[in-house]
Structure 1
Amino acid sequence: MIRLLTIMIVLCAHTVFNTVKAAGSELIEQVEREKNQAHWSGLPIWGEQVREMGYELPIPVGFGVYMNSQDVEYIATDDFKIDATGGVLGGFGKPAHYVVPADDVAIKGTDKSVQLRADAWVFPFLNIYGLAGYTEGNKEISADLSNATRNGKPFGVPATIPINIEYQAYNLGIGAVIATQIDVIEGINPIIITAAGAVTNAWTTTTDSTILTKIGSLRVGQRYDVPYGKLALLLGYQYQSIEQNVTGSLTNLQVGGINLADELQFDVDLKSKETSNMSLAAVYDFGYEKEWNLMAEYSFLNWNQLIVAVGYRF
């Protein structure tokens, strides 16, 4: 009797265990189905086929806030043009036109910006995004007059004109990211490869100028499981070209106690001196569906740049 009771208890326990196990497996499968079900936007195209192949895709639609700070050195792409009235440069109260060779112009700049970015994965491998932002920056321009011409004739002046321009700008831009991953060998996380490009145009409010920026990047790295999410570490090559036409005017220009001009108008085209850089980036995705993300990227070698961002996908 005792032996029969024991057998019945074991059989019941085994049945309960299998039932719970099956229910648990079904629950896990249901969660996975819900996570991988079609997005409300219908994006990305071919997303269902890619998921069936075993790949995990991000939530297709998102937005983020990006904070960017950078120090960049520039060069003049044409001669620096000056119209001076009064003072030493104007002379006798008559306007004088000066041309300073581009090689005698040194330019440094600092920009800090906040960008709003909205994006969507149109295909599993292609992300399209738009940017809208605000920038506060300054340009420090030094024009050496030693080899200048005045009204078309050589007229070197042993003086350097310092021009410090502070400005605000509003910009719009568009960009795209192509992404893929390569499975190396079993036990090693796949290699992530992304290529990105963007174009932005900014309109300044304190100077008569616009800023055209072209950006490109190639990043390679891996993604790791970490507490509460996933962490991607990426090494990148960065391309950045900044072109700007700077025009404006100064009044009562004083250098070393000498009045160089009562009024000075200037015009110069400039571009970033270096266009290639290296970067290190970290992206942390977290949340129940990894809907939140934090990103930090530091660029170094030819200019210093720091980008910090927070985003949400829905």
Structure 2
Amino acid sequence: MKTLIKVTQKMRKSIGALLLLLFVLTPLLSNSQVNRLSKEERDSLRAIPYPHTLPIFGQRVRNKGIDLPLPLGFMVTYIHQRTEVNLEDPRIALGGSDFVSIDFVDFEPVENYTNVVNFRADAWVFPFLNLYGIYAHSKSDSFVRITFPIELDIHRTPTANTYGFGSVLAYGMEDYFAAFNLNYSWSHTSALDRPVQGRVMSLRLGRSFELGRKNQSINASIGFQNQKITRDSSGELTVDEIFGLLDQDNLNDLKDQIADTAQNWYDDLSLPQKVVVDQLVDLLQDYLDGKDVGQTPLRYNFDKVPVGEWSVQLGVQYNHNKHWWFRLEAGIGRGREQIMTSVNYRFGL
């Protein structure tokens, strides 16, 4: 936990440094000479047939003296993010029994620290429309804290494989540009039974600054991002696995807390809730006595509600030439922080 807190503190410093970089670079580059295409260069472009199949209407754009980026690309992205999620309407079921609400249990917002490696292949189908597919692998550190009727900390490290697709609508005028991104994804997470569906929507506005060499530039952007995920989540753990998450001292403390506090809340529970609590206490006692509690499954279901779904995105991209692009971007919003870096290789056919 201390290590993750240090990582988050470093991430906040990185976001601050990126903000400073954007505000320092923008006025400096705004006062420099921007190398636009001369009339001779535009005439030269018109005279050369467009060499690639994509994008559609690429030749028409070339005839107007506009130079397009290479149409195809592969991108590798690394993302580190922290998100907070509220657990609402929690329900559990032992074995094959029906789900029972445990709304008497108080959860603090769950903190997730996630590292993601994302692979993306894309193509400019039209000069204004880019389509892409993604695959990502992620590993998370999730911290679940129960504060009532017992105090319990649960640490999980789920992994996930994500598949998805998306599109970008782009528009540019002289040195300025706008890009709208929309993608959908499905994450198969080790801790859940069903894939988590996600939707990311973002809008970025920016300016490009040429650096003196042809096709070499820095692009600074600011934008907003909205992310939605499937709220309904369910999974399963065996009772043996659950108790195995805790050491012997924690289990004894857990038993004592149940015994000490039951008289304050137990009598107010419904009959199905009392049955579930009694079963868990009996299984815990058997486990502490060294008895085999078997592989009785504890199924769970809850709604994951993000503390916040919006973030402000600030980015800097360095285009070394028409083939290699490098990007650094940070996002911050209510209950979420993110830093991203990527390498993009572009080519044409």
Following superposition, the deviation at residue 139 of structure 1 comes to 2.3
Deviations 1:210-253 (A, max 9, x none): 22221111111111111551111001111111335142324325
Of 219, 235, 245, 1:247 maps to: 235
Following superposition, the deviation at residue 194 of structure 1 comes to 0.7
* Structure 1 residues 29 and 266: alpha-carbon distance in aligned structure 2, compared to 1, 3 A threshold: closer
Letter paired with 2:189: T
* Structure 1 residues 102 and 131: alpha-carbon distance in aligned structure 2, compared to 1, 3 A threshold: farther
Whether the 8 Å contact between 1:106 and 1:143 is mirrored in structure 2 is: no
Q: Which residue number in structure 1 is paired with residue 337 of structure 2? A: 304
Q: Which structure: greater helix fraction?
A: 2
Following superposition, the deviation at residue 313 of structure 1 comes to 0.8
Q: Which residue number in structure 2 is paired with residue 236 of structure 1? A: 223
Q: Which residue number in structure 2 is paired with residue 294 of structure 1? A: 326
Of 243, 254, 258, 1:258 maps to: 254
Deviations 1:269-297 (A, max 9, x none): 3132211110111111123xx11110111
| Structure with bigger gyration radius | 1
Inter-partner Cα distance in structure 2 for 1:114 and 1:258: 38
> Is there any run of 5+ residues in structure 2 with no aligned partner, and where?
1-39, 259-279, 285-295
Normalization by structure 2: what TM-score? 0.66
* Structure 1 residues 101 and 44: alpha-carbon distance in aligned structure 2, compared to 1, 3 A threshold: farther
Letter paired with 2:58: G
Q: Which residue number in structure 2 is paired with residue 131 of structure 1? A: 134
* Backbone CA RMSD of aligned residues: 3.0
Write the mapping of 1:197-236 to structure 2, written as runs, cut at 5 A.
197-226=182-211, 228=213, 229-236=216-223
Of 38, 41, 53, 2:50 maps to: 38
Inter-partner Cα distance in structure 2 for 1:65 and 1:202: 18
Inter-partner Cα distance in structure 2 for 1:45 and 1:101: 59
Following superposition, the deviation at residue 162 of structure 1 comes to 2.9
Letter paired with 1:276: W
Inter-partner Cα distance in structure 1 for 2:146 and 2:70: 51
Letter paired with 1:200: S
- The percentage of counterpart residues that share the same residue type is 25
Whether the 8 Å contact between 2:46 and 2:64 is mirrored in structure 1 is: no
Deviations 1:82-104 (A, max 9, x none): 3469xxxxxxxx99955126974
Whether the 8 Å contact between 1:191 and 1:221 is mirrored in structure 2 is: yes
> Is there any run of 5+ residues in structure 1 with no aligned partner, and where?
1-26, 86-93, 146-157, 184-189
Letter paired with 1:295: R
Of 175, 181, 203, 2:166 maps to: 175
Inter-partner Cα distance in structure 2 for 1:207 and 1:241: 17
Q: Does 1:313 align with 2:346?
A: yes
SS in 1 for 2:84: strand
Following superposition, the deviation at residue 255 of structure 1 comes to 5.5
Inter-partner Cα distance in structure 2 for 1:192 and 1:276: 22
Inter-partner Cα distance in structure 2 for 1:267 and 1:29: 61
Following superposition, the deviation at residue 81 of structure 1 comes to 1.5
Inter-partner Cα distance in structure 1 for 2:104 and 2:89: 5
User: Does 50-59 or 259-268 show the bigger shift?
Assistant: 259-268
Q: Does 1:192 align with 2:177?
A: yes
SS in 2 for 1:79: strand
Of 74, 77, 86, 1:75 maps to: 86
Inter-partner Cα distance in structure 2 for 1:139 and 1:210: 17
Letter paired with 1:67: Y
